[in-house]
Amino acid sequence: MSGRHPALRAPLLTEAQIRERVAALGREITEAYAGRELTITCVLKGGFIFLADLVRAIEVPCTMDFMVISSYGMGTRSSGVVRILKDLDAPIDGKDVLVVEDIVDSGLTLSYLLRNLETRRPASLEVCSLLSKPGRHDNDVPIRFVGFEIPDDFVVGYGLDAGERFRELPEIWTVDETRL
Ligand code: 5GP
């Protein structure tokens, strides 16, 4: 990208910080699922870069499947009303399912998703989210593996977008939403 977009305020997480934390998450997940096989469900589009790095840091066999969901919301906030635009290709009954998410903000999207996946009777169902904004959701949102807890600022980069832009940035940035 030539020159920095005026909406990009400051890097919140550098490439090196992300790399190190993703490697550590890979080790945690490998330990937690030792001797088992993982069925990874990735929520597109935001999770795709995290997923690509994470699965290369996990040392148990895994398969990957993708969902595309859209949450109806005002601007940059979700409402918890979720529509499945693309469902998983394969059934997950009896599988050890790990949902890989980019970010949990209010937790509404994740709660909906977990309720939906639970009805398909997986053997286990856990969540790994790169980012979490604990100030925005109750502690009962069950995120087993968290990359970073961040303040309640809108962030982009490393897969996360603002109006489809900035996904390609290797760092995570806070943005000035008035300058998008
Ligand atoms: P929730 O339902 O937890 O409020 O929102 C979840 C979804 O909203 C995320 O999967 C993501 O698509 C979007 N979202 C929430 N916070 C942010 C943010 O800070 N940056 C970006 N790019 N998307 C966000």
Q: What digits encode the pLDDT tens for the residues 58-94?
A: 999 999 999 998 876 556 666 667 889 999 999 999 9
Distance 104 CA to ligand 1 centre (A): 6
Where are the domains positioned within the chain?
8-179
Residue partners of 179: CB distance under 8 A and separation at least 6: 6, 7
Q: Hey, what CATH topology would domain 8-179 get?
A: Rossmann fold (3.40.50)
Q: Residues 71, 84: contact at Cβ < 8 Å?
A: no
pLDDT tens, position by position, 122-170 = 999 999 999 999 888 776 788 999 999 999 999 999 999 999 999 999 9
Q: Name every protein residue with a CB atom under 6 angstroms from any ligand 1 atom.
A: 46, 71, 78, 102-110, 154-156, 160-162
Question: Rounded to whole angstroms, how far apart are CA atoms 109 and 121?
Answer: 19
Q: Fill in the DSSP letter of residue 160.
A: B
Catalytic residue among 93, 102, 105, 176: 105
Best probe residue, ligand 1, of 5, 8, 72, 78 (max atoms within 8 Å of C-beta): 78
Strand-pair category, 38-44 with 62-72: parallel
